[in-house]
Amino acid sequence: MDAPRNTSTVARIVVLAMALIGVAVVAIVYAPDGTAPLRTAPLWMPLVVCLAFGVAELAVFHLEHRREAITFSISEVPSLYALVFLDIRVAVAVRLVGGLAAVWVTRRPPLHKLLYNAGVFALEIAVGACVLRTIVSWSDGSMTWVLAGGVIAVGVLTVVGVVLVCVAIAQFEGDFIGTALTELRSSVWIFALNATIAGLTLAPALVTPWLSMFAIAPIVILWIFVRQQGKIGQTLRDVESIQGFAGRIAGEVDLDGIGRATVDETTRLLRARQAGLVIFDDEVALMTISAGIPIVGLPVRTDDLRWHAVLHGVDDESLGGGRVDDLCAAPVRSDKGVVGVLVMRGREGAVESFTETDLSRLRTLADQLAGAVSRGLMHRHLQFEANHDLLTGLANRAAFERDLTDLRERALQHASTAFVVMFDLDRFKEVNDTLGHHAGDQLLVEVAHRLTRVTEPGDLLARFAGDEFALSGLRDSIDDIDIFVRACTSAVARPFNIDGLELVVNASAGVATQTGDADSAAMLRRAGDADSALLRRADVAMYHAKQNHLGHEFYRDEIDRRTPARLSMLADLRTAIDRSGIELHFQPKLDLVANVVCGAEVLARWQHPTRGSVPPIEFIKVAEESGLIRSLTDLVLEGSIGAIAALDARGHRLGIAVNLSTQDLLDELLCDRVERRLEQFGVEPTRLTLEITEGTLLYDGPRTRSTIERLHQIGVHLSIDDFGTGYSSLSYLRQLPVTELKIDRSFVTNLVVDAQDETIVRSTIDLGHNLGLQVVAEGVETNDVADRLRVLGCDIAQGYGICRPLPFDQLTTWLVNTSFATRQADPTRPLPW
């Protein structure tokens, strides 16, 4: 009844009350047979009836079920006495005095409500009196008719009272008919019962008023009995509802769902206008769920002083421990302490303020809730663990991947670019190994902080495993992403202070994107599952960045080894190797001192049926990764050693150099194969040089070294290729049985114009000679470079300036026609090495 109350409704109530009083006055004035009592009564009668009205109003009790409340009162008894024994005006007066006094004492309603009550009381009596007097005047006025008429009049009077109360309710809530019908339907049997009881008490009093005293005892007993039953029934219904509530939330694990069900149930079960549930996790409020207007001032910590009595006043069962201001509150306690507080405010229904009973119901509800809240908290923790990395608190891989689909869709909707960056710390393993896991963990947490600070709202940062972090988000353009990733890597590059030590740890980052247009999305989908394609691409880009020390790199098809193009290339390469589709080209080497062609390097060539000629760098890589390299090397060795014999037969005594790859040196059978081929063609081992790149030497030291040792033992020459690009230390080179250094062409080609290159080449030549090695310069494109090399003391030159790599036939022609002399097949003249 306490819905928005504005002045116009109040005014309407006042007007209605006045109207009721007016109608009552008219009814009294025009009552049939005047206002005099129907039966004479002793002088104490008005006083007793007045008191009885008060008691009846006080002894009222309500049965409440859910939102419905049925009110029981036995004001019918004094009403009937008043109608029969009192002057109508006196009857109205005692009704008003007794009734209003009791209403005031129990409810203290606002004045307009009190006035309305007065109108209702007055009109009830007036209408009852008119009905009774009409019946009596139409009949013979005997005792029987007074009794029957009285019962009917009291019944009518009660119905009039209910209807008038409904009129008032309708002023606030509307729907007069609906309210009145519900009210009458649920209470009509009570009215009939009360009217009959009133009739029973009247019967002896009609004989002589004193006899009414005999009726009082059974009424009081009956009354107490019914009231008790009502209370028990009410308790049972409450228990039922509370258990029903416990059942409804039994299967719920989501805290929000539990909270919502709880506050809804609190407002219904306890007829509260507002309800709130605060759930604490680790003594701090995790969430507050409200029904009705949210309650302000709820605790945010379990050690809140104002709320201490409610949350921790374990022994205090009085209202004091359950009240803060006008709120009723009960703690939700689990074995881990207080996990929540359930609060309600504003009693609705028949009673205006909460009672002890309400508070104990609230406590029961809170107790029922404890299990569910603990379960919800546990579920939440588990969910957190399932979706987060516990060290850094960031999302984990599962959560990150789950978010990707959504991210790509948002990119399409907003026509922006979705990106995934993978980060990998460059020296993390070292930190872990040398400083311990504790330092490693500290570093990871700090990296997580730094990256978090750079991220923008909407970005998602995750830690996958070890030192791998991933970041996703949306930006307007690739440029924005580039700037952002740079900011990330430089945030990580700043020195860290771990256990008082200053550490510099760089991160390599790989970026994959999906632009906002449908094409880009479709392209990703073609690459398989679009989400994992995006992740895989970022990973590929990251490895590329790491290997090439690029800091960060965007994904491109060219750096991807697993693109469909690459996979089809693998199949074609296998066919080419099997069906001699690989051709050998020979690039002559010039002895700079004697100005004589002294040898040639063999370079593999592959003419792809549809793609044309594939650069060796590309197909050698594919062969290395797929294990095809053995067959390829074997094929090249066979062709090269065969070529030595064939050239000998044509009168050219040349040394031939063959390139080996990393995998070849790990192959324990390589030596046997080389030996077999040499024997097969009857070629001396010294005519064969095997070129090994610097990088290869660093790979799996012991196995590589043993292969190199054995090759040396059988008499094959070994050369360090691409010298200057790697980091091989001099002391290491000295230990190896190599006979030649090949200066990488990147230093040679611009030798004459670049002073720095010249310095490098000069010192490399000196270094090689100091170690007793022969020095070859590759990438010699001009005569100037050849001349300068000669001045610097370089032994051998190779490059386009001398001759491009040629097929065997063209090589033999070139050897015949070249202006350079060629070494003749004269076994008595020694080779330069």
Binding residues (CB under 6 A) for ligand C2E: these are 587, 603-604, 615-617, 620, 636, 659-661, 691, 721-722, 745, 778-781, 799-800, 805
Nearest distance from C-beta of residue 381 to Ca ion, angstroms:
60
Q: Which residue is nearest to ligand C2E (CB)?
A: 799
Nearest distance from C-beta of residue 698 to ligand C2E, angstroms:
16
- Binder among 389, 531, 721, 740 for Ca ion (CB under 5 A): 721
Residue 124 in the binding site for Ca ion (CB under 5 A)? no
Among positions 797-826, residues that touch Ca ion (CB under 5 A) are none
Residue 603 binding: pick among ligand C2E, Ca ion, none (C-beta 5-8 Å cut-off by kind): ligand C2E
- Judged by beta carbon, residue 348 or residue 691, the one nearer Ca ion is 691
Residue 495 DSSP code: P
Residue 171 in tokens: 């002023």
Helix (DSSP H) and strand (DSSP E) numbers for the chain: 29, 25
Q: Which of 34, 49, 39, 50 is nearest to 147 (CA)?
A: 39
Residue 800 binding: pick among Ca ion, ligand C2E, none (C-beta 5-8 Å cut-off by kind): ligand C2E
Q: Cα–chain-centroid distance for residue 334?
A: 27
Q: How far apart are CA 438 and CA 488, in angstroms?
A: 24
Residue 620 binding: pick among Ca ion, ligand C2E, none (C-beta 5-8 Å cut-off by kind): ligand C2E
Residue type (1 letter), 610: T
Residue 409 in tokens: 């869709």
Residue 659 in the binding site for Ca ion (CB under 5 A)? yes
Q: Which of 743, 803, 794 is nearest to 593 (CA)?
A: 794
Stretch that binds Ca ion, among 334-342, 354-362, 457-465, 684-692 (CB under 5 A): 684-692
Residue 689 in the binding site for Ca ion (CB under 5 A)? no
- Judged by beta carbon, residue 252 or residue 691, the one nearer Ca ion is 691
- Judged by beta carbon, residue 508 or residue 587, the one nearer Ca ion is 587
- Judged by beta carbon, residue 204 or residue 642, the one nearer ligand C2E is 642
- Judged by beta carbon, residue 410 or residue 621, the one nearer ligand C2E is 621
Residue 781 binding: pick among ligand C2E, Ca ion, none (C-beta 5-8 Å cut-off by kind): ligand C2E
Residue 617 binding: pick among Ca ion, ligand C2E, none (C-beta 5-8 Å cut-off by kind): ligand C2E
Residue type (1 letter), 313: G
Residue 187 in tokens: 């209470």
Residue 227 in tokens: 């009231």
Q: How far apart are CA 258 and CA 251, in angstroms?
A: 9
- Judged by beta carbon, residue 261 or residue 796, the one nearer Ca ion is 796
Q: How far apart are CA 170 and CA 455, in angstroms?
A: 58
591 Cβ contact partners less than 8 Å away, ≥ 6 residues apart: 597, 598, 795, 796, 832
Angle (deg, nearest 10), helices 88-107 and 7-29: 150
CA atoms within 13 A on the CB side of 192: 6
Are 679 and 658 in contact by the 8 Å Cβ rule? The answer is no
Distances (CA, A) of 491 to 29, 428, 487: 96, 16, 6
Within 42-87, residue ranges assigned H as helices are: 45-58, 76-85
- Binder among 87, 124, 691, 757 for Ca ion (CB under 5 A): 691
Are 681 and 642 in contact by the 8 Å Cβ rule? The answer is yes
- Classified as helix, coil or strand, 737 is coil
Nearest distance from C-beta of residue 604 to ligand C2E, angstroms:
4
- Judged by beta carbon, residue 266 or residue 659, the one nearer Ca ion is 659
- Binder among 238, 348, 591, 722 for Ca ion (CB under 5 A): 722
Are 469 and 451 in contact by the 8 Å Cβ rule? The answer is yes
Residue 661 binding: pick among Ca ion, ligand C2E, none (C-beta 5-8 Å cut-off by kind): ligand C2E
Total residues at interface with Ca ion (CB under 5 A): 4
Residue 265 binding: pick among Ca ion, ligand C2E, none (C-beta 5-8 Å cut-off by kind): none
Residue 604 binding: pick among ligand C2E, Ca ion, none (C-beta 5-8 Å cut-off by kind): ligand C2E
Q: How far apart are CA 305 and CA 230, in angstroms?
A: 40
- Judged by beta carbon, residue 204 or residue 801, the one nearer ligand C2E is 801
Nearest distance from C-beta of residue 544 to ligand C2E, angstroms:
19
Q: How far apart are CA 503 and CA 691, in angstroms?
A: 39
Nearest distance from C-beta of residue 576 to ligand C2E, angstroms:
13
- Judged by beta carbon, residue 64 or residue 721, the one nearer Ca ion is 721
- Provide the binding-site residues for Ca ion, judged by CB under 5 A: 659, 691, 721-722
